Structure 1
Amino acid sequence: MTTVTTKQISTARGCVLGLVLGDAIGAVGAEVPSAGPLSATTGAQLACFTIEGVIRAHVRATHRGICHPPSVVWHAYTRWAVMQGIPGFKPRQKENWPDGWLAQVPVLAARRGSAPATVTALQNRTMGEIDKPAGDSIGAHALTRVLPVGLTAEWVPEPARLAAEIAATTHAGEAVHAAALSAAIIAGIAKGQGIEEAVQQSQWESMSFLKQPVESPVAAAVEAARSQPRQAMRLAQLVPDARAAAVLAGGVYVALCFPGRDQIRDALLFAASCGNGSGSHVAAVAGALLGAAHGADALPVGWVSRLELAWVADVLARDLIAEFVDQPSGTEYTPGDDPHWGDRYPGW
């Protein structure tokens, strides 16, 4: 019988907590207050719903034998929209919907910035695909929300493709490619590769399902980290705006410039200092990469203990691994050992 390993849990917790922590540090522009909660932004909220959607998709697949995971994750984003009070979305009382445990988390209903491309796609009721995008946005939310998909590499044959398909539900073009790259990098780290090795490997892995060649946004980041490390001006050049490709380049640059276990605090502050509204995105990417590489215990305790979404992120990370390894709700043919799992993660 396969059991969850300490390494799997540490990598998953580090990745998700690192993402959410980077998002929060970036939101305050590296001016971290000495006390009080560290709040999440829309990016961290959507990442939480992505993980929940992936778990629910696997529950559906194991119980019904068939599933289209991007559609289940799209449904997760719809629940987020209902909780946010976005026009066009209302709860359905008779069906007790939104369902699942995330719908009971108050902070996920708090408005923490905007996600215009995601909201527009949801309001139009049009779910995009890689070859048929619903819009033309190439913004960073397509990237940051799918980073944890790479954690499924041991069980999902092509996590980069899954990440791309999820990103494509609301975004297009180079944002979809950046999403695939990011998941491939996380997948490499989860398999035991160093950050630079995982970055290098991802550049060809993520291209396998893209019909048109796309220039890798991380090649310049790798070279910059070698020749011009820890330079704010170089980071600004890599991240001139909040495009997903630029943000991925910035996050990779930061992670490669601060690779050590004891450098995560400095890495997040450096990433968060990135201007033009990209700080939370760049720090989220760097936090996810470094957290996955070093584990949750390497994250700054003083910050994590004040992190608004810490408990939510930690539970989701653990449950993601538990679902794929232990299948707590059972399968179509075998009973599970957690009678409440299906209520927490309904398979739809």
Structure 2
Amino acid sequence: MTKVTAEQLATARGCVLGLMLGDAIGATGGTVPASGPLPATAAGQLACFTVDGLIRAHVRQRHRGICHPPSMVWESYRSWATIQGVPGFTAGGEGHRPGGWLAKVPVLAERRGSAPATVAALQRRKIGTIDEPNGTSTGAHALTRTLPVSLYPCDPAEMAALTHAGDAVAAAGLGGAVVRLLAAGRPLIEALESVAADPAGFAEASQRSLVPALAAAQSGAPSTGELTRLAPDARAVSALAGGIYAVACLPGRETVREALLFAASAGDGGHAVTVAGALLGTAHGPDALPVDWLSRLELAWTADTLARDLVTELHDSPSGGEYFPPTDPHWRTRYPG
């Protein structure tokens, strides 16, 4: 019998599906076509491999008694690089042999834009840490791909530091703190204000993203000019500021579609709407996401499966453990730890 609650499942599914939907809407620039699939970008692909790595980390902890989650997420990113054909990663060669079911999803092997900081870090074959980051990039992928990390007992900033540095790591920590409060049941605006009031070790980044975004939202109606000012480029702090401004202006369950379209008008490459989608999905659950868009989302099944499996692994451990047998004999094949 499962220990997973309906609330836990809705939170995880909303977070991952909302992120993926925001990523796809961002790729359209806010002009969503009337029909046809809504493809993911490299950011959405990397978010899928982040969740895969978290599940594999928990499996490893269960069966080996010790695990370093960032290292498992790093291995999942190496799987992504291998199936993408990134130079230096050849399956079965000196690079990396991908494992698990996610590496067999054909769409994830398709090039969907660039992720230069992540690729460069993987090619250096050096895992970055908060104290010793891998590279100098402050790009938005550090934030967008790590937002689901807060569904797991781990620090999103650590995951961002695998490949990014500086403000990007701080933005991931702030975004993750908001997701964690939403997952705990806090209302959206209350969660945003709580993190702004107590940004932990990320006060400087908060003053340049979270605080001005909330102040702008409280000062008047949604403004594309204000959104452009807050999210002028593809840095992680811009994505965080733009995404938070959009959801703070339009926080309700009934305005999710409007909030996503508004965030997509930021002109920052679609990163702000990815943040907005993850936050709104976590706050309101998957049923609040526009069905007509969600049904066309290219990676909907993949993202939904990962979200469900993450919650299942955390609470039910289908692969078993030292003192209890597996309930799913194929789980460790799907998520090798």
Do both proteins adopt the same fold according to a TM-score greater than 0.5, normalized to the shorter chain?
yes
Alignment partners' CA distance in 2, 1:96 and 1:143: 25
Match of 2:320, SS? coil
1:194 aligns with 2:187: yes
1:225 aligns with 2:214: no
Q: Residue 177 of structure 1 contacts residue 206 of structure 1 at CA under 8 Å; is this kept in 2?
A: no
Per the alignment, residue 266 of structure 1 pairs with: 258
Alpha-carbon shift at residue 98 of structure 1 (Å)? 1.1
Alpha-carbon shift at residue 214 of structure 1 (Å)? 2.6
Per the alignment, residue 15 of structure 1 pairs with: 15
Alpha-carbon shift at residue 2 of structure 1 (Å)? 6.9
Alignment partners' CA distance in 1, 2:328 and 2:73: 23
Per the alignment, residue 46 of structure 1 pairs with: 46
Match of 1:37, SS? coil
Farther off after superposition, 106-115 or 215-224: 215-224
Alpha-carbon shift at residue 336 of structure 1 (Å)? 1.7
Task: Give matches, 1:207-226, under 5 Å.
Answer: 207-208=200-201, 214-216=204-206, 217-226=209-218
Do the aligned partners of residues 204 and 66 (structure 1) sit closer, same or farther apart at CA in structure 2, a change above 3 Å counting? farther
CA deviation map 1:61-86 (0-9, x unaligned):
11111111001100100000001101
Q: Residue 25 of structure 2 contacts residue 260 of structure 2 at CA under 8 Å; is this kept in 1?
A: yes
Do the aligned partners of residues 95 and 284 (structure 1) sit closer, same or farther apart at CA in structure 2, a change above 3 Å counting? closer
Q: Residue 81 of structure 1 contacts residue 119 of structure 1 at CA under 8 Å; is this kept in 2?
A: yes
Aligned letter for 2:290?
P
Alpha-carbon shift at residue 256 of structure 1 (Å)? 1.0
Alpha-carbon shift at residue 113 of structure 1 (Å)? 0.3
Per the alignment, residue 242 of structure 2 pairs with: 250
Task: Give matches, 1:141-180, under 5 Å.
Answer: 141-152=141-152, 156=153, 159=154, 162-180=155-173
1:336 aligns with 2:326: yes
Q: Residue 184 of structure 1 contacts residue 205 of structure 1 at CA under 8 Å; is this kept in 2?
A: no
Aligned letter for 2:185?
G
Alignment partners' CA distance in 2, 1:165 and 1:44: 19
Per the alignment, residue 27 of structure 1 pairs with: 27
Do the aligned partners of residues 90 and 206 (structure 1) sit closer, same or farther apart at CA in structure 2, a change above 3 Å counting? farther
Alignment partners' CA distance in 2, 1:95 and 1:221: 42
Instruction: Give identity over the alignment, percent.
Output: 59
CA deviation map 1:302-340 (0-9, x unaligned):
000000000000000100100000011112332220101
CA deviation map 1:153-200 (0-9, x unaligned):
xxx2xx4xx211110010001110110111110110010101121122
Match of 2:204, SS? coil
Alpha-carbon shift at residue 125 of structure 1 (Å)? 0.6
Q: Residue 328 of structure 1 contacts residue 337 of structure 1 at CA under 8 Å; is this kept in 2?
A: yes
Alignment partners' CA distance in 2, 1:95 and 1:333: 36
Q: Residue 82 of structure 2 contacts residue 97 of structure 2 at CA under 8 Å; is this kept in 1?
A: no
Q: Residue 271 of structure 1 contacts residue 279 of structure 1 at CA under 8 Å; is this kept in 2?
A: no
Do the aligned partners of residues 244 and 39 (structure 1) sit closer, same or farther apart at CA in structure 2, a change above 3 Å counting? same
Alpha-carbon shift at residue 95 of structure 1 (Å)? 12
Alignment partners' CA distance in 1, 2:336 and 2:245: 39
Alignment partners' CA distance in 1, 2:197 and 2:72: 28
CA deviation map 1:64-121 (0-9, x unaligned):
1111100110010000000110101001189993110001100000100001000000
Alignment partners' CA distance in 1, 2:330 and 2:158: 29
| TM-score w.r.t. length of structure 1 | 0.93
Alignment partners' CA distance in 1, 2:32 and 2:165: 34
Alpha-carbon shift at residue 251 of structure 1 (Å)? 0.4
Task: Give matches, 1:95-174, under 5 Å.
Answer: 97-152=97-152, 156=153, 159=154, 162-174=155-167
Per the alignment, residue 298 of structure 1 pairs with: 288
1:314 aligns with 2:304: yes
Alignment partners' CA distance in 2, 1:92 and 1:37: 33
Aligned residues: 335
| TM-score w.r.t. length of structure 2 | 0.96
Gaps of 5+ in 2: none
Per the alignment, residue 325 of structure 1 pairs with: 315
Q: Residue 15 of structure 1 contacts residue 287 of structure 1 at CA under 8 Å; is this kept in 2?
A: yes
Per the alignment, residue 78 of structure 1 pairs with: 78
Alignment partners' CA distance in 2, 1:68 and 1:263: 39
Quote the RMSD (CA, aligned, Å).
1.7
Alignment partners' CA distance in 1, 2:82 and 2:198: 36
Alignment partners' CA distance in 2, 1:111 and 1:310: 18
Gaps of 5+ in 1: none
Alpha-carbon shift at residue 206 of structure 1 (Å)? 5.0
Do the aligned partners of residues 54 and 204 (structure 1) sit closer, same or farther apart at CA in structure 2, a change above 3 Å counting? farther
